[in-house]
Structure 1
Amino acid sequence: MTAWNANTEAGASESGSVTVVEGSSFCISAGNGDISSEGGTNGAFFQDTRIISHWVLRINGSLREPLAAQRSRPFAATFVGRAKWPDGRFDSPLVVRQTRHIGPGLQDDITLENYAAEPVECDIELLVDADQADLFDVKGGRTTGPADTTREVVDGRLVIQAVRHGQQRGTAVGAREGVASLDGLRFHVTIPARGKWTTSVIVVPLVNGKAPADPFTEGRLPHHREGVRRHLDWEEGVPRINVADTGLQDLLNRSQIDLGSLRIFDAHHPERAAVAAGAPWFMALFGRDSLLASYMSLMVDPNLAAGTLQTLAGLQGKKVDPDSEEEPGRIPHEVRLGVTAGLSLGGTAYYGTADATPLFVALLGELSRWGLSRDVVQPLIAHADRALEWIQKYGDRDGDGFVEYLRPNDHGLVNQGWKDSWDGINFADGTMAEAPIALCEVQGYVYAAYIGRSLLARWSGDAPLEQHWADRAAELKTAFNEKFWLPDKGYFAVALDKDKRPVDALTSNIGHCLWTGIVDEDKAPSVVEHLMSPQMFTGWGIRTLASDMGAYNPVSYHNGSVWPHDTALVATGLMRYGFVEEARRVALGIFDAAEHFDNRLPELFCGFDRGEFPGPVPYPTACSPQAWAAAAPVQLARILLRFDPVFTRGVVHLAPILPEAVGTFRAENVLLDSARVTINASGTEGSIEGLPPGLKLVAEPRPPLAYPPEGVVAGGVAGR
């Protein structure tokens, strides 16, 4: 079994664990700052490798008594505890502060404060290990230390190295005044009365003997690093939000902070920021996740979508490779840096996904409406055309007009849509569907891709090409509504299986079809009725699978749980088809759920009815923060504002329908083209300050079925 075929879930971290993250580096520790080597998923990770697997601080022979753990920034945390006094007294006046920074390695600033009236001698030891385990192995609980691990003291630092599959990974640990041994570091210090002692422990990762370009160093403060400056710049650049409902304000602010913490940068193009899927296990570029998260984050910063598109374009498939499932024009599913990924693929990118490629084109079309400069959009059009070629040549395996997936190997993902767990696609009776599988939402994404390319052609002034892709979209819409519709059930099949049989389970996937607009208008009311039924809507959000289906399990990953991003896209579809009250109910359900998660929505939570428990039941292995979960409240706020900039027509729609409980809403510093605008809303009234020249405010919602506003009809483009 290789990395890509591993279960999509992760083993649970310790209860009360603290996660800090910066770029693709992260650290998970216990609430007192320690990291245990006794199994589990805790550790510090750099380039998908665990560079610290054991990190235990002892003072005077004992562990600290934990007092508090505070995460001041996404990349930093402070742990406060009380240390044992040498005479063993219980009410010790010796306080320990341990401030941790994560980045290209790790820095722990450890301070002991002596509140006693006499000096004290302290023996301090930091026990360290580094198993150099690949992230996939840690995530799956398959860690076994390599036999050729070496431990040595070099220039006053403990250096632990191991060779895995031909690559040498290592960790160097050192500190001023610290005496390095093969077990870790030791200090013997005298702390004066009412005084303090401080040291900085520096961890430097080594890849084939080389340190990263910008490691932590003792003489340079962590907040001077480029990664920290990027976070501070992000916080200055995102919208400043004020909402009468302080809970919603806190939720939106938390979403913006988390999206900033999940950005990753291309070393060759440091000006580009893409969004990683989520912490801790998915701090990497994921085609589908990154595209959807950046789409839902457009109101925070459209440049995040631009950077994601640019980064994915650089990884677009060029050849046919059954191992990695690369194909010409295909957008990758996942990019990794660990040695297990390289071993299984012969590279670092895995392409086994059916939906990232059409979503790439759809998002680019959306950016042309948003007002991104031609310098950003124009170079990506050639990549969009290559993606469309993949859809026709490789995605549509049998020429029936629909995109299917079937892995060409025994180690790739069995299911290659967003529900990518092994049992994620099933019939109403619980039977598993067999590939090749054509998912309903993937056809919706392809429809959006055709619309997006039509828009790009209009933007470029190419009327024949605009008409070509409009016609392709209309043809697909007709075929989809014929082949996927289940007239006896009143909703769409989640998929067609290998025999072209409709997979008849009732799922949230059909809500994505509303979002993209592929659903015929006369079928939408029945679809909405099913999505809002007690079998699907829990009161907190939309279940992934209806509670009366054979495979339903409220504590499963994809068969009955609630995913905030999924629910947000369903709500967007409800709003698009004019089901305003239903969309508002769903949005308020997610907002209410967020309050029970300290205003940070997790990747998913369990699918129990709202009346069963006082709050939503957490899913034990959910990622948090997670990009599309963080973006979900932003998207829901946008649909309640009914805020839609359409630069291709020179208008900006703003027609709010804010619930009374939300009260007034104000967002300053919202980026539109090169201008910074302020959005004001209350109830059904709204205004925008600082609109760029040439844009007109339209106090009406975008037409319900317009995606984009120029909308597609059979045989041509409407609403020119």
Structure 2
Amino acid sequence: MAQANTVRILDGSTFVVSEDTGDIEATPSEPTGLFSLDTRFLSRWVLTVNGERLNALSYDDLQYYEARFFLVPGMPTHYVDAKLSIIRERTVGGSFHEQVTILNHDEKAVDLEIRMDAGADFADLFQVKDEILNKKGETYAEAEADRLRLGYRRGNFRRETLISSSQTARYDRNGFTYSVHLEPNTQWSTDIDVHTVVLGPASEDLRMELRVPSRDQPSLQRGLEEWIAAAPKVNSECEHLARTYRRSLVDLAALRFSPLSLSGQTLPAAGLPWFMTMFGRDSILTCLQVMPFVPGLSRTTLCLLASLQGTRFDDFRDEDPGRILHELRAGETAAFEEQPHSPYYGSVDATPLFLVLLDEYERWTGDVALVRELEQEARAALKWIDNYADLVGNGYIWYERRNTDTGLENQCWKDSWDSISYRDGTLPPFPRATCEVQGYAYDAKVRAARMAREFWGDPAFAEQLEREAEQLKERFNRDWWVEDGQYFALALDPDGRKADVLSSNIGHLLWSGIVDQDRAGKLAEHLVGPRLFSGWGVRTLAEGEARYNPIGYHNGTIWPFDNSFIAWGLRRYGFVEEAATIADGILAAARYFDGRLPEAFGGYPRELTKFPVEYPTACSPQAWSTGAPMLLLRTMLGIEPHGGHLAVEPRLPIGMGRIEVLDIPGRWGRVDAFARGRLNLHQLSG
């Protein structure tokens, strides 16, 4: 949830959300504080000078991992003749570091009592999200001679916050205090370190045992510079495109997440503040989006998903053999099975998408060894599609949660409770089958057939998969077509009745290739037509449908990630103008968000609002929104791997100008792509 006047900094699974003064005063319902691995390690962090609270002159979130706050004591009326100023410089790099500097601008010496109130409620992120802080363990605070230890203990689940300072401080259970004498025009500073400790059953620090690094500011800066240097360079006459690309690259670096089991290897977390962890669907789709720019993320993602693939039937976790996880959490509620996320498997698209990513990764990198290494996991995923996902017995993927207490009702990407409806607005019964998932299954089988033939040495299995894919395509085009609307239904109910609304999901069908060629043109017309296309992007649900709401989470908002795959799908079927139209709208919207596309924004017509209206509780940054500009770049330039070389067939929006993408990595080494957009009438006349 975005809060007014908040400052966010993050590094992987660790992030801080504070007020614009740098203070933290968390309530059970606000995602403010220092969080790591789904636990809040600081819920109170308040700086005072001589008992006075501080006010912000300005703040600067310099990089994703650091912020600087410029403060003065007292109320704003004191600003004119404030004799003291305070600078707080904060860095997050696995743990938390803050430097506090006090400057005396007076001609007289001053004696100061500088106090930092500190506390930790060790709230689980789910408890914060649900606004229920119900701790069943014991919190403790121990003031030692050289540090403050805050802790929480519940059985073998133990978390601690260790606070120490470079300057001598007096520690108590609620914080620490400095007594400082400052001569005229001098300054004083201290470095404060806050370490988040994850303790195992034998009181060992699991982060140290698994060599999870805590990084300082220079190493964070060096790591970011190396990340940017390794990625392709984008130069463009359209300045906001280059800025948006760089912002996406930096945000993607910020969202790199290293689970405790990976010892420093990273994959994309889903988004700040609620989803700084691994999500099967989100991580896979993000990897697909950014493949031409940072293909290495895909390998880590595939390996971890394979290692956590379902092996049994578990109703609590919605687990089946071969199923790919939906969400993995490390907090208290998951540890004590108050939530099923250890991991939770309640998604029906992550499993076919796993196969899609494995094939796409090999097509880009030539990493045949990984395709062979994950053969059994890939076969298990295919078996899940055929044997366990078909709850009705008609050859489609269906979902119905078995965990009725905490499991997800809708297990597709539109996972809010009211996202699937009939044209009259009523909701269908369960099980449900959504259209885009059938497309993913088709694509997965086509791609798995290639892997079976070329890498697994099983041509008979390849032929079987190709037959099954073709049969699925034929059935789908027959059963899902809405004749009076000339589009595919959003979903089917168990009786075969269509959820016959017009939705953005039809664009995913183009991306997967399941649509018959003679029907693709109608879908393209809808996708850039006035009911779905707002001028900024394609709405999740078409204007005029019963549940349409321009700020309804999945019922009328615009999702940048959704649009990036829709544009890619249009391009696949040869609708280059329509793909360029969508790319142009989304990239134009990015200008209003300083290059950082939010999770979603309002579906209002562009001519009505004149600017994109942000969805009120959107995650930012969010991984697959961060990846959207990269996939749009791929789509506009027509970048596709073909064997050992990279094909480039650009078609840019009118007025986009020249684009260069330099040093695109892949099995071909590093190559460049160039494109020039067509001029608009204003440019021609000028």
TM-score bracket for this pair, using the shorter chain length: over 0.9
1:334 equivalent to 2:330? Answer no
Contact kept, 8 Å, 1:148 with 1:162, in 2: the verdict is: yes
Per-residue deviation, residues 129-167 of structure 1 (Å, max 9, x unmatched) = 211000011122222455732222134322222335762
Letter in 2 for 1:556: G
In the other structure, the counterpart of 1:662 is 656
In the TM superposition, what are the counterparts of 1:418-567 in structure 2 within 5 Å? 418-460=413-455, 462-567=458-563
Q: Single out whichever of 470-479 and 69-78 deviates more from structure 2.
A: 69-78
Change over 3 Å in CA distance of 1:221–1:626 after alignment to 2: closer
In the other structure, the counterpart of 1:55 is 45
Q: Single out whichever of 309-318 and 186-195 deviates more from structure 2.
A: 186-195
- Rounded to whole Å, the distance in 2 between the matches of 1:94 and 1:673 is 59
Secondary structure of the structure 1 residue equivalent to 2:517: coil
In the TM superposition, what are the counterparts of 1:64-103 in structure 2 within 5 Å? 64-84=54-74, 90-103=80-93
1:641 equivalent to 2:637? Answer yes
Change over 3 Å in CA distance of 1:162–1:462 after alignment to 2: closer
- Rounded to whole Å, the distance in 1 between the matches of 2:110 and 2:396 is 74
Letter in 2 for 1:124: I
- Rounded to whole Å, the distance in 2 between the matches of 1:108 and 1:608 is 42
Letter in 2 for 1:425: I
Task: Report how many residues are paired.
Answer: 666
In the other structure, the counterpart of 1:239 is 232
Contact kept, 8 Å, 1:371 with 1:646, in 2: the verdict is: no
- Rounded to whole Å, the distance in 1 between the matches of 2:221 and 2:331 is 24
1:15 equivalent to 2:10? Answer no
Letter in 1 for 2:491: A
Aligned counterpart in structure 2 of residue 125 of structure 1, from 109, 115, 125: 115
Per-residue deviation, residues 249-299 of structure 1 (Å, max 9, x unmatched) = 000111111111111224444463211111121111100010001100012
Aligned counterpart in structure 1 of residue 394 of structure 2, from 387, 393, 400: 400
Aligned counterpart in structure 1 of residue 672 of structure 2, from 670, 678, 685: 678
Per-residue deviation, residues 604-641 of structure 1 (Å, max 9, x unmatched) = 11111112213111111101110000000110111100
Give how far 1:521 is off.
0.9
- Rounded to whole Å, the distance in 2 between the matches of 1:271 and 1:378 is 24
Contact kept, 8 Å, 1:171 with 1:204, in 2: the verdict is: yes
Give how far 1:196 is off.
2.0
- Rounded to whole Å, the distance in 1 between the matches of 2:144 and 2:675 is 62
Give how far 1:212 is off.
5.5
- Rounded to whole Å, the distance in 2 between the matches of 1:140 and 1:385 is 38
1:30 equivalent to 2:19? Answer yes
Secondary structure of the structure 2 residue equivalent to 1:197: strand
Secondary structure of the structure 2 residue equivalent to 1:125: strand
Letter in 2 for 1:682: R
Q: What fraction of aligned residue pairs are identical, expressed as a percent?
A: 38
In the other structure, the counterpart of 2:647 is 653
Q: Single out whichever of 278-287 and 378-387 deviates more from structure 2.
A: 378-387
Aligned counterpart in structure 1 of residue 173 of structure 2, from 182, 188, 191: 182
Contact kept, 8 Å, 1:362 with 1:452, in 2: the verdict is: yes
1:149 equivalent to 2:145? Answer no
- Rounded to whole Å, the distance in 1 between the matches of 2:350 and 2:232 is 28
Give how far 1:662 is off.
2.2
Aligned counterpart in structure 2 of residue 379 of structure 1, from 360, 373, 385: 373
In the TM superposition, what are the counterparts of 1:562-711 in structure 2 within 5 Å? 562-647=558-643, 650-673=644-667, 675-683=669-677
Contact kept, 8 Å, 2:269 with 2:278, in 1: the verdict is: yes
Aligned counterpart in structure 2 of residue 390 of structure 1, from 373, 384, 391: 384
Give how far 1:25 is off.
1.1
Give how far 1:347 is off.
6.6
In the TM superposition, what are the counterparts of 1:190-269 in structure 2 within 5 Å? 190-208=181-199, 210-211=204-205, 213=207, 222-223=216-217, 230-269=223-262
1:299 equivalent to 2:288? Answer no
- Rounded to whole Å, the distance in 1 between the matches of 2:253 and 2:54 is 33
Letter in 1 for 2:375: I
In the other structure, the counterpart of 2:358 is 364
In the other structure, the counterpart of 2:281 is 288
**Unaligned regions of 5+ residues in structure 1, if any?**
1-11, 686-720
- Rounded to whole Å, the distance in 2 between the matches of 1:189 and 1:146 is 40
Contact kept, 8 Å, 1:603 with 1:623, in 2: the verdict is: yes
- Rounded to whole Å, the distance in 1 between the matches of 2:628 and 2:155 is 40
Secondary structure of the structure 2 residue equivalent to 1:187: strand
Change over 3 Å in CA distance of 1:16–1:673 after alignment to 2: farther
- Rounded to whole Å, the distance in 1 between the matches of 2:288 and 2:437 is 16
Change over 3 Å in CA distance of 1:466–1:183 after alignment to 2: same
Letter in 2 for 1:566: D
Give how far 1:378 is off.
2.2
In the other structure, the counterpart of 2:32 is 42
Change over 3 Å in CA distance of 1:42–1:346 after alignment to 2: closer
- Rounded to whole Å, the distance in 2 between the matches of 1:243 and 1:118 is 55
- Rounded to whole Å, the distance in 2 between the matches of 1:136 and 1:221 is 27
Contact kept, 8 Å, 1:169 with 1:206, in 2: the verdict is: yes
- Rounded to whole Å, the distance in 2 between the matches of 1:221 and 1:291 is 27
Give how far 1:569 is off.
0.9
Contact kept, 8 Å, 2:328 with 2:341, in 1: the verdict is: no
- Rounded to whole Å, the distance in 1 between the matches of 2:371 and 2:259 is 18
Contact kept, 8 Å, 1:656 with 1:684, in 2: the verdict is: no
Change over 3 Å in CA distance of 1:192–1:456 after alignment to 2: farther
Give how far 1:466 is off.
2.8
In the other structure, the counterpart of 2:682 is none
Letter in 1 for 2:435: C
Letter in 2 for 1:417: C
In the TM superposition, what are the counterparts of 1:101-120 in structure 2 within 5 Å? 101-120=91-110
Give me the TM-score of the superposition, normalised by structure 1.
0.88
Letter in 2 for 1:407: R
Contact kept, 8 Å, 2:111 with 2:179, in 1: the verdict is: yes
1:310 equivalent to 2:299? Answer no
Secondary structure of the structure 1 residue equivalent to 2:322: coil
Per-residue deviation, residues 155-197 of structure 1 (Å, max 9, x unmatched) = 4322222335762333222223221112211112123333321
Give how far 1:512 is off.
0.5
What is the root-mean-square deviation of aligned Cα atoms in Å? 2.3
- Rounded to whole Å, the distance in 2 between the matches of 1:434 and 1:229 is 53
- Rounded to whole Å, the distance in 1 between the matches of 2:394 and 2:521 is 28
1:279 equivalent to 2:289? Answer no
Contact kept, 8 Å, 2:392 with 2:494, in 1: the verdict is: no
Give how far 1:396 is off.
1.3
Letter in 2 for 1:459: E
Secondary structure of the structure 1 residue equivalent to 2:25: coil
Contact kept, 8 Å, 1:325 with 1:350, in 2: the verdict is: yes
- Rounded to whole Å, the distance in 2 between the matches of 1:68 and 1:146 is 40
- Rounded to whole Å, the distance in 1 between the matches of 2:70 and 2:572 is 49
- Rounded to whole Å, the distance in 2 between the matches of 1:683 and 1:232 is 30
Change over 3 Å in CA distance of 1:652–1:187 after alignment to 2: same
- Rounded to whole Å, the distance in 1 between the matches of 2:79 and 2:575 is 66
In the other structure, the counterpart of 1:325 is 318
